[in-house]
Amino acid sequence: MARLCFSVHIQARHIATLAILLGLSWQVTCAVVTNDTTHVAEKTFDYVITGAGLSGLTVGNRLSGKGHSVLIIEAGPDGSWNPAIRNAEDHAFPPEFCNWKYPVYDEDGRQLQWTANAGACIGGSTSINGMVWYRPTKPEIDKLETLGNPGWNFENLFPYIKATERSIPPNEVQASQGAGNDPEFHGRHGFINTSFPTPMRIPKAVGLYKQALQLAFPGLGPSGDMSNRTSFSLATTLYTIWHDPVTGKNRRSSAADGLLWATEQQRPTLTVLAAHKVEKVLFDKKLTATGISFLPTDARSLGRSIKVYARKGVILSAGSLATPPILERSGIGRSDVLKAAGIHKLVDLPGVGANLNDQPDATALALMAEAHHNDTSIIDGLNGLFAPVIALIKAHQLWGSNSNVYLNNLTSSTQLRFRAQALVDAKAAVNIPGAEAILNATIDLIVTHKLPVAEFLSDTATVILLTAFWPLLPLSRGNIHINTSTPFFSHPIITPRFLHDPFDASVAVSLARASRTVFSSSPFLGIVADAYFGTAVGSNGTDEEHLAWYKSQVIGASHWLGSTSMMPRRLGGVVDSKLRVYGTKNLHVVDAGVLPFQVTSHMMSVLYAVAGRAADVIHNS
Ligand SMILES: Cc1cc2nc3c(=O)[nH]c(=O)nc-3n(C[C@H](O)[C@H](O)[C@H](O)COP(=O)(O)OP(=O)(O)OC[C@H]3O[C@@H](n4cnc5c(N)ncnc54)[C@H](O)[C@@H]3O)c2cc1C
Ligand SMILES: *[C@@H]1O[C@H](CO)[C@@H](O)[C@H](O)[C@H]1NC(C)=O
Ligand SMILES: *[C@@H]1O[C@H](CO)[C@@H](O)[C@H](O)[C@H]1NC(C)=O
Ligand SMILES: *[C@@H]1O[C@H](CO)[C@@H](O)[C@H](O)[C@H]1NC(C)=O
Ligand SMILES: *[C@@H]1O[C@H](CO)[C@@H](O)[C@H](O)[C@H]1NC(C)=O
Ligand SMILES: *[C@@H]1O[C@H](CO)[C@@H](O)[C@H](O)[C@H]1NC(C)=O
Ligand SMILES: *[C@@H]1O[C@H](CO)[C@@H](O)[C@H](O)[C@H]1NC(C)=O
Ligand SMILES: *[C@@H]1O[C@H](CO)[C@@H](O)[C@H](O)[C@H]1NC(C)=O
Ligand SMILES: *[C@@H]1O[C@H](CO)[C@@H](O)[C@H](O)[C@H]1NC(C)=O
């Protein structure tokens, strides 16, 4: 029975027939995953959720577990059969399959060279992401509450982080190669496996990087567990993986694996409809959300639109790059955007699509000396499990005694007003008080709480050493809106506005320089053949040249958030502290878009907690 439950998702209809022939009542115990609308069209569920990614699956799992009937509609297919998704290690990062690859634009509407990654199959971005797992710090989570969201603090959210995690402790070999695990910071009984790779990747390169990074960033010391945020952060991270002795592979533990396919998570109250894209939310005259309309993802005309209804609520979980367009198509957003698209305005809510942000990621390469090309302790070709060494770098480690020059600039109230005005002018913030509140939260984390300002991720591939890095707590903001000529069939217009804030640019320049310092340092002597590989900027390059290089390289780190912020409405918020969309009833947003500012952990630890708590808040209200 359990096995049957596990396999129904592959071809729900056929297995259903088989089950009936065998006299099994699988429908009673199993979640249904299907492409077929016959069983859902025009039906009513307690909750209808858009997007079967990290947040949608978390909320859908919890609400259906409490007995509510839940339908999740996912635009992408079931990707669980695909080895690039199942296995953590043997694919290029990120896997092409299951990626929206959204186009991105500069402020003049010109398309940029790169595209934004976002998961496009069941499991959402957790089906294609980098799997890096460590926890955030207390001050940054507490800032959510300070911004006007009672109850959204570390004390309330940390238990949800622990409840997510099934931490598999490192074995002796892993521990001897730097796998740290302080049990106090990890859960043991959650639904997402976290562990270190088997075997640990490129141990010799990791050792050299650790020495070189300490030389490049004075004061940075090696730590054990990345999740012990009281120590210096230069360590090997946990990943959301588990080692499968049967296949010998490190396997991904996605939201779908943990919350949908897992045999112990089966329940008859959950239905997932794949391969259908949500168009908009349906309302009654009092602006109570009553359902949604959607189409087959490959539809070419709105004529094929299908409706389903929600008794208790509609929950938007399509991610920070897809939920704002759904709101706008529904008539909720900035007036001029709705007007240009000819959409009847239901709620004037200018925060929709503003405040979009991600960390601006650049990658520096160094060519390795030929003598080391075959040394698998330096190059193993397995960079699906990327960044076996991560450093979180604080302002004084990046700039030494100069750091006050940069920090004083941040704390000046004139500068704060300046920055806020620039965001309002660029339509990246709704108003000055809102922009100031968000910027000030991040500035306080950097200046008062001394959180790291940069992340530095190191790896090797084929014949190169490579490091990716980004300003960790950026102050730049962009926006995202529908393409007003074809709001459903065209991708949204995403304008990241990376590095517009001078602080972000200063961090970027220093990181670009530091990456070359790392490759040129004594530990890599004889191993690196060209520390400036692939760049015309040499050791005497100016700040302007380094910044130009950075901008020519930059892509999103794939930690998009902020486009439907949880904040008071007067500050440009889109949802209140119960995740309810302002001006409506029974409509919620639960996804990365509700976080107004970046955090210093990667997203998953925070988002599983936010979505878990959101489900409880929704259930209890
Ligand atoms: C390449 C990449 C690498 C990353 N690396 C890491 C990492 O190493 N560590 C980490 O912690 N985080 C990482 N992240 C970030 C993390 O995975 C995301 O922040 C997180 O999954 C976001 O959760 P979400 O619920 O907001 O959206 P998602 O998980 O992206 O889910 C959104 C879902 O909605 C669906 N959808 C979109 N539009 C519609 C529509 N109109 N109708 C129906 N469904 C729709 C999408 O197909 C998707 O399945 C990475 C992300 C990416 C893309
Ligand atoms: C569901 O649709 C996807 C395409 O979106 C397709 O790859 C898959 O085979 C379909 N599954 C079934 C059971 O029809
Ligand atoms: C966290 O790291 C600090 C500094 O290295 C150490 O003193 C402390 O014991 C660690 N905490 C735990 C719970 O291991
Ligand atoms: C977690 O790991 C165990 C093996 O330790 C495995 O049986 C299980 O399927 C994994 N679960 C997920 C969600 O990855
Ligand atoms: C590395 O391996 C390749 C292929 O086996 C071989 O041709 C080459 O000579 C080796 N290089 C060194 C430096 O050993
Ligand atoms: C201080 O901020 C202003 C504008 O915000 C910027 O022009 C200037 O370059 C900054 N100085 C430093 C040292 O960051
Ligand atoms: C900025 O944050 C600090 C610390 O929370 C607070 O004391 C100060 O009043 C805030 N300033 C603004 C302009 O919001
Ligand atoms: C918006 O959509 C139209 C119609 O598909 C397309 O021609 C146009 O290029 C899109 N706009 C942008 C900025 O991509
Ligand atoms: C920078 O250094 C290179 C040699 O590394 C030299 O050729 C070049 O002229 C120098 N450029 C400047 C602007 O000094």
Annotation marks residue 559 as catalytic: yes
Annotation marks residue 481 as catalytic: no
pLDDT attached to residue 22: 52
pTM comes to 0.95
- Quick one: average pLDDT of 546-552? 98
Nearest-CA residue for ligand 5 atom 9 is 374
Contact (CB, 8 A) for 372 and 567 = no
pLDDT confidence tier of residue 9, bands split at 50, 70 and 90? very low
pLDDT confidence tier of residue 29, bands split at 50, 70 and 90? confident
The span from the CA of 419 to the CA of 409, in Å, is 11
Biggest CA–CA distance in the chain, Å, is: 76
Ligand 6 proximity of 156 Cβ (cutoff 6 Å): no
Res. 608: pLDDT tops 70: yes
Instruction: Give the rounded percent of residues in the chain with a pLDDT score beyond 90.
Output: 90
Residue found by looking up tokens 């707590």 in the block: 473
Res. 1: pLDDT tops 90: no
Testing ligand 8's pocket by substitution, the residue of 115, 485, 495 carrying the most ligand atoms inside 8 A of its CB is 485
pLDDT attached to residue 3: 30
- Quick one: average pLDDT of 499-525? 98
Nearest-CA residue for ligand 9 atom 10 is 540
Contact (CB, 8 A) for 75 and 276 = yes
Residue found by looking up tokens 């050791």 in the block: 539
Q: Dump pLDDT digits (tens) for 89-102.
A: 877 777 888 999 99
Ligand 1 binding site (Cβ under 6 Å of any ligand atom): 50-55, 73-76, 94, 117-120, 124-126, 128-132, 277-278, 317-320, 322, 326, 558-559, 591-592, 602-604, 607
Assess whether the previous peptide bond of 324 is cis (omega < 30° from 0). no
- Report how far ligand 8's centroid is from the alpha carbon of 229 (Å): 45
Testing ligand 7's pocket by substitution, the residue of 415, 438, 444 carrying the most ligand atoms inside 8 A of its CB is 444
Inter-helix orientation angle 432-447/138-146, to 10° = 160
Res. 120: pLDDT tops 70: yes
Going 152 to 153 to 158 to 161, the CA torsion angle's sign is positive
Ligand 4 proximity of 193 Cβ (cutoff 6 Å): yes
Q: Dump pLDDT digits (tens) for 514-526.
A: 999 999 999 999 9
pLDDT attached to residue 97: 86
Nearest-CA residue for ligand 9 atom 1 is 540
The span from the CA of 414 to the CA of 411, in Å, is 9
pLDDT confidence tier of residue 106, bands split at 50, 70 and 90? very high
Ligand 4 proximity of 242 Cβ (cutoff 6 Å): yes
Q: Dump pLDDT digits (tens) for 476-491.
A: 999 999 999 999 999 9
Res. 4: pLDDT tops 90: no
Nearest-CA residue for ligand 6 atom 1 is 409
CA distances from 72 to 124, 216, 482, 621 (A): 12, 48, 23, 20
Phi and psi at residue 187, to the nearest 5°: -90, 155
Ligand 8 proximity of 486 Cβ (cutoff 6 Å): yes
- Report how far ligand 2's centroid is from the alpha carbon of 262 (Å): 20
Nearest-CA residue for ligand 5 atom 8 is 374
- Which DSSP state fits 444? H
Q: Dump pLDDT digits (tens) for 244-296.
A: 999 999 999 999 999 999 999 999 999 999 999 999 999 999 999 999 999 99
Of the candidates 495, 531, 503, the residue with the CA atom closest to the CA atom of residue 516: 531
Binding residues: 129-132, 278
Ligand 3 proximity of 230 Cβ (cutoff 6 Å): yes
Res. 14: pLDDT tops 50: no
The ligand minimizing its distance to the Cα of 489 is 8
Of the candidates 95, 100, 103, the residue with the CA atom closest to the CA atom of residue 76: 100
- Report how far ligand 2's centroid is from the alpha carbon of 12 (Å): 11
Contact (CB, 8 A) for 446 and 410 = yes
pLDDT attached to residue 12: 46
Secondary structure of residue 279 in the 3-state scheme? strand
Phi and psi at residue 556, to the nearest 5°: -75, 140
Contact (CB, 8 A) for 451 and 355 = no
The span from the CA of 451 to the CA of 471, in Å, is 12
- Report how far ligand 6's centroid is from the alpha carbon of 410 (Å): 8
Nearest-CA residue for ligand 5 atom 13 is 371
CB atoms inside a 10 Å sphere around CB 403: 16
Q: Dump pLDDT digits (tens) for 176-218.
A: 999 999 999 999 999 999 999 999 999 999 999 999 999 999 9
Of the candidates 514, 505, 499, the residue with the CA atom closest to the CA atom of residue 391: 514
Point out the ligand 2 atom lying closest to the alpha carbon of residue 275.
Answer: 5
Nearest-CA residue for ligand 2 atom 3 is 77
Given 276, 372, 546, 559, which residue is catalytic? Answer: 559
pLDDT attached to residue 5: 52
Indicate the residue type of 561.
Answer: L
- Quick one: average pLDDT of 113-124? 98
Q: Dump pLDDT digits (tens) for 69-79.
A: 999 999 999 99
pLDDT attached to residue 232: 81
The span from the CA of 17 to the CA of 32, in Å, is 13
- Quick one: average pLDDT of 487-497? 98
Contact (CB, 8 A) for 242 and 250 = yes
Q: How many CA atoms, within 13 angstroms, populate the side-chain half-sphere of residue 268? A: 5
How many residues would you count in the chain?
A: 621
Res. 16: pLDDT tops 90: no
- Report how far ligand 5's centroid is from the alpha carbon of 374 (Å): 6
Q: Where are the beta strands (DSSP E) in 497-577?
A: 528-530, 555-556
Contact (CB, 8 A) for 302 and 486 = no
Ligand 6 proximity of 421 Cβ (cutoff 6 Å): no
Res. 17: pLDDT tops 60: no
The span from the CA of 328 to the CA of 307, in Å, is 18
Q: Dump pLDDT digits (tens) for 526-544.
A: 999 999 999 999 999 999 9
Ligand 7 binding site (Cβ under 6 Å of any ligand atom): 436-437, 440, 444
| Mean per-residue pLDDT over the chain, rounded | 94
